[in-house]
């Protein structure tokens, strides 16, 4: 397979089934550095599965995924884990912060997993927290902050390793519109400033509006949408 010219991450003919349920049925995808692509679709359409496959969390049953010229689907679990630590960042719907760690420790966690010393990791984490306007929460635990604040901490955590691709799965799904918009502004601004590509899974048009391009997934198949200006 030849990935689209200049693309950072691309997928072709992805198929993935969970038991009898076909989640992906020939889905295609590509993203360029610094691009924000919204993956949209109704519940159960396969958009989260597509994200998981693209991020190397789940291996597809068939099809190819290329990242930076390497075939992701051919990598071992350890290689894919290493890639996720170094090149990818993640934001989930409910933040999925580690409840017992403080916010700054949560943000520093991916760096620490990469072997960065605690001090250095927390210093970098604080910079990102300032940027996402949550530096005053550094000593608080996730249970002590609001949903919007927690999600911003999660965004800071996803960006702290300066990933080349940021995967965001319904990042505002648990937030009110005001908080959701603020999180999206901060997320996309921060990503663009580091030239990171963002794969944004959402079913909200309001959130998708922050993207450069939209891909709609329906019944496991993907389709590029032209944006109405």
Partner 1 sequence: MSLSTGERPRALPTGPVPDGGRSRTRRVAADLAMGVRFAFTGGREGWTRAVLTAVGVGLGVALLLLTTALPNALEVRHERETARTDITYVDERLPKADDTLVVANVGSDFRDDSIRGRALEPEGPRAPLPPGVERFPAKGEMVVSPALKELLASDSGALLRERLPDRIVGTIGESGLIGSGELAFYQGAEGLAPHIEGGRIVRIDGYGDPNPTSERSDPVLLLLILVIFVVLLMPVVVFIAAAVRFGGERRDRRLAALRLVGSDSGMTRRIAAGEALAGALLGLVFGAGFFMAGRQLAGTAVVFDISVFPSYLNPSPLLALLVAVAVPTAAVLVTLLALRGVVIEPLGVVRAGRPPRRRLWWRLLLPLAGLAMLYPMIGAGRDNGDFNQYLVTGGVVLVLVGVTALLPWVVETVVARLGAGGVAWQLAVRRLQMSSGTAARMVNGIAVAVAGAIALQMLFAGAEGDYTRSTGQDVTWAQMEVTLPSAVPVSSAAAGKLRDTRGVNEVYDYSEGHLGDRALDPEATTTLTVGGCAALREIADLPSCADGDVFAVHGAEWDTGVDMAKLAAPGRKLYLDPSYEGSPKSLEIPWTVPRDVKAAKPRRGLLAGIDRGGVLLTPKAAPDTLAPALEGHAYLRLDESVPDVHDRVRNTVAAVDPLASTVTWTETERTGRFDAVRTGLFVGAACVLALIGASLLVSQLEQLRERKKLLSALVAFGTRRRTLSLSVLWQTAIPVALGLLLASVVGLTLGAVLLKMTATPVRVDWTGVLAMAGIGAAVVLVVTLLSLPPLLRLMRPEGLRTE
Site residues, partner 1 (CB under 8 A):
18, 43-44, 48-49, 52, 55, 57-58, 81-86, 88-90, 92-94, 96, 98-102, 105, 109-110, 112-113, 118, 141, 157-158, 169
d(CA 26, CA 16): 9
What residues contact 80, with CB distance under 8 A and at least 6 apart?
A: 56, 57, 72
Q: How far apart are the first and last CA of the chain?
A: 32
Q: Please, what is the minimum distance in Å from the beta carbon of residue 31 to partner 1?
A: 18
Nearer Cβ to partner 1 (86/213): 86
Q: Please, what is the minimum distance in Å from the beta carbon of residue 35 to partner 1?
A: 21
| Alpha-carbon torsion, ordered 136, 154, 187, 122, to 10 deg | 60
Nearer Cβ to partner 1 (13/81): 81
Nearer Cβ to partner 1 (84/138): 84
Nearer Cβ to partner 1 (64/96): 96
Structure tokens at 92: 């989930």
Nearer Cβ to partner 1 (1/74): 74
Q: Please, what is the minimum distance in Å from the beta carbon of residue 142 to partner 1?
A: 10
Nearer Cβ to partner 1 (82/181): 82
Nearer Cβ to partner 1 (22/113): 113
Rounded to 5 degrees, φ, ψ at 215 are: -120, 130
Q: Where are the beta strands (DSSP E) in the chain?
A: 9-18, 21-31, 36-40, 62-67, 70-71, 88-91, 165-169, 197-201, 213-218, 221-225
- Nearest by Cα to 172 from 199, 146, 197, 207: 207
Which residue's entry shows tokens 């396969």?
Answer: 46
Q: Please, what is the minimum distance in Å from the beta carbon of residue 82 to partner 1?
A: 7
Helix %, strand %, coil % for the chain, to 5? 40, 25, 35
Q: Please, what is the minimum distance in Å from the beta carbon of residue 204 to partner 1?
A: 16
Structure tokens at 104: 């700054």
């Amino acid at each position: 397979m030849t990935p689209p010219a200049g693309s950072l991450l691309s997928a072709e003919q992805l198929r993935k089934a969970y038991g009898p349920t076909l989640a992906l049925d020939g889905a295609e995808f590509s993203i360029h550095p610094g691009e924000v692509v919204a993956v949209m679709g109704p519940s159960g359409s396969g958009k989260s599965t597509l994200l998981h496959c693209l991020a190397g969390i789940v291996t597809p049953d068939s099809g190819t995924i290329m990242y930076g010229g390497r075939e992701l689907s051919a990598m071992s679990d350890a290689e894919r884990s290493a890639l996720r630590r170094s090149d990818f960042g993640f934001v989930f719907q409910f933040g999925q912060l580690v409840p017992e760690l403080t916010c700054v420790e949560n943000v520093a966690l991916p760096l620490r997993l990469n072997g960065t010393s605690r001090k250095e990791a927390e210093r970098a984490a604080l910079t990102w927290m300032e940027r996402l306007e949550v530096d005053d929460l550094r000593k608080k635990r996730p249970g002590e902050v609001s949903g919007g604040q927690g999600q911003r901490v999660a965004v800071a955590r996803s960006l702290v390793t300066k990933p080349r691709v940021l995967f965001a799965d319904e990042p505002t799904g648990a937030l009110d519109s005001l908080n959701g918009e603020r999180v999206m502004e901060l997320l996309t601004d921060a990503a663009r400033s580091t030239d990171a590509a963002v794969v944004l899974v959402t079913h909200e048009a309001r959130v998708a509006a922050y993207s450069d391009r939209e891909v709609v997934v329906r019944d496991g198949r993907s389709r590029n949408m032209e944006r109405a200006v």
